[in-house]
Amino acid sequence: MFRKTVLLGISVASVLAMGSAQAKTIRIAEHRPARIDALKKVVPEIEKKYNVQIEVIEYPAPEKDYLTKLLTELGAGNAPDIFTAPHGSDVADMVAAGYLAPITKELKAWDGYSQLFDVGKVMATSQDGQIYVLPAMLNVQQLYYRRDILEKAGISTEQPRTWAELLDRAKEIKAKTGAYGLLFPAGVTWGDGAFVEGFRLLLVGTSTPQIVTENGKLNLTGQGIKDVFGFYADLINNDLMPIQPLLEPEPWVAPKYEMFPAGKLVVTTGGSWGYIYDWGAQSKNPIPNVTQVVGTWEVPGKTEGQYVLVDLESPWAVNAKSPDVALAKKVMLELGSVNADVAYAQNLGNIPGRVDAAADPDFQKLTELVPILTALKNGTGTHLNTAEGFSAVAEGVARGTEALLRKQTDAAGAQKILVDYVKEVLGGDAVK
């Protein structure tokens, strides 16, 4: 049986293999069709440049399933040569496991290095001073609102200055239009989203904006965290935010792709991708004239300040156990080219991680994104320092906000859920 299978396999294989050129193969893991399409636009160029064969492997789209498969393979030592960490906050955990090859030397010698945004370089640098990921794209988040609806209802479109102002605005929206006034992602089914698309946007504007201590521990007992949970509790208890959809299996679909375009939700957190992917050219349910109709506010701080949150968007990394680390690094750096950045920006609406992408004629056509890139160049953008254990923090925040959504606890209780969860997962000594 076995011999027959082998023989059969070999004969099938040799037929399949005929005509294929002999070149080294680099395997790249990518997920979500929009990202894969963007990657495939630049692959032929890279293949030609380094005489390699690039195999793009489609991974499951939801981040949880993507990570399950990728980490199983990384753990076993069999992962693709190049892959992405979903968020900047996942990098530290992967570095600690020894999965990522350091690229400090190669990155600094790369001709694109000088063009990278400083904020990207800072976030890509690990606590040990080494760089393990390429900050090719940036994820820029703030608040998005329906200008048309606010104007029609005679509600101010001014930038809110404090949390209190923001809440009042949401209450006014609810009272005058009947629509939901504000959405911050929350709950367990949104996965990382409760933290990366919601919680941390508020956290950077509190009295304890950073949660990583100098020695790399996590401080989760600060007043800031409690205040953010308190803000969530206010939104939920005053019925300002749609709760039911957030408890369902795909919590983002109803509010972001249905309620916001329909005007039943007026303000939401969001990223630059909103103009392209959620409601723009790549959307199935686009809002006509999206850049006019949908305006942006920076996220107000609790009592002062305004914040635009910047994070690494799916930064590229090289597998430390790749059979040809050197070649994989060369190929990976090509994924930080202007061409690659623009391809991803076109499909997803994220912001290129390099300054010179602004001058690219194809990027210029993405008029929705140009002002955001310009603003980054001028130094807007706050980021959250990360450390090992951030994936546990994200899950703990999801659990805490879930309890609030279900009205089972208050701000202090939600904070306790977060602290207890992180302690349970990471052990007591990782938490200050």
Segment interacting with another protein, rule: CB under 8 A, options 137-145, 150-158, 219-227, 252-260: 252-260
**Is 193 in contact with 290 (CB distance < 8 Å)?**
no
Q: CB of residue 379 vs another protein: minimum separation in angstroms?
A: 31
Q: CB of residue 298 vs another protein: minimum separation in angstroms?
A: 25
Of these, 109, 214, 284, 289, which contacts another protein (CB under 8 A)? 284
Burial 341-359 (b: 16+ CB within 10 A, else e): bbbbbbbbbbbbbbeebbe
Pairing mode, strands 294-297 and 299-300: unpaired
250 counts as binding another protein under rule CB under 8 A: yes
Segment interacting with another protein, rule: CB under 8 A, options 142-150, 218-226, 243-251, 289-297: 243-251
CB nearer another protein, residue 3 or residue 48? 3
Of these, 47, 50, 96, 219, which contacts another protein (CB under 8 A)? 96
With a CB cutoff of 8 Å and minimum separation 6, the contacts of 11 are: none
Q: CB of residue 4 vs another protein: minimum separation in angstroms?
A: 11
AA identity, residue 213:
T
CB nearer another protein, residue 337 or residue 391? 391
Segment interacting with another protein, rule: CB under 8 A, options 152-160, 205-213, 287-295, 401-409: 401-409
Q: CB of residue 159 vs another protein: minimum separation in angstroms?
A: 28
89 alpha-carbon distance from chain centroid:
9
CB nearer another protein, residue 62 or residue 371? 62
278 counts as binding another protein under rule CB under 8 A: yes
CA angle 352, 354, 355 (to 5 degrees): 110
313 alpha-carbon distance from chain centroid:
5
378 counts as binding another protein under rule CB under 8 A: no
**Is 28 in contact with 39 (CB distance < 8 Å)?**
yes
Q: Tell me which DSSP letter residue 216 carries.
A: S
- Cβ atoms < 10 Å from Cβ of 63: 18
Segment interacting with another protein, rule: CB under 8 A, options 88-96, 104-112, 358-366, 367-375: 88-96
Of these, 89, 268, 283, 401, which contacts another protein (CB under 8 A)? 283
SS3 237: helix
262 counts as binding another protein under rule CB under 8 A: no
AA identity, residue 358:
A
Q: Report 153-212 residues binding another protein (CB under 8 A).
A: 188-189
With a CB cutoff of 8 Å and minimum separation 6, the contacts of 194 are: 185, 186, 187, 188, 394, 397, 398, 401, 402
44 counts as binding another protein under rule CB under 8 A: no
Of these, 37, 60, 127, 306, which contacts another protein (CB under 8 A)? 60
Segment interacting with another protein, rule: CB under 8 A, options 105-113, 143-151, 196-204, 246-254: 246-254
128 counts as binding another protein under rule CB under 8 A: no
CB nearer another protein, residue 251 or residue 336? 251
Of these, 249, 361, 379, 428, which contacts another protein (CB under 8 A)? 249
- CA-closest candidate to residue 232, choices 400, 390, 356: 400
Dihedral of CA atoms 371, 186, 239, 297 in degrees, nearest 10, equals -10
Size of the site for another protein (CB under 8 A): 70
Which phi and psi angles does 51 have, rounded to 5°?
50, 50
Ordered DSSP codes for 153-191: HT---SPP-SHHHHHHHHHHHHHHH-SB--B---SSTTT
Of these, 172, 208, 219, 247, which contacts another protein (CB under 8 A)? 247
SS3 314: coil
SS3 218: strand
The answer for 414, left when phi > 0, alpha when psi is -120 to 50, beta otherwise, is: alpha
Q: CB of residue 11 vs another protein: minimum separation in angstroms?
A: 9
> Rounded distance, CA 361 to CA 281, Å?
18
Binding region for another protein (CB under 8 A): 1, 5-6, 8-10, 12-14, 16-17, 20, 22, 25, 32-33, 55, 57-62, 64-65, 67-69, 71-78, 80, 93-94, 96-99, 188-189, 244, 247-250, 252-254, 257, 277-278, 283-284, 388-389, 391-392, 395, 402-403, 406, 408, 424-426
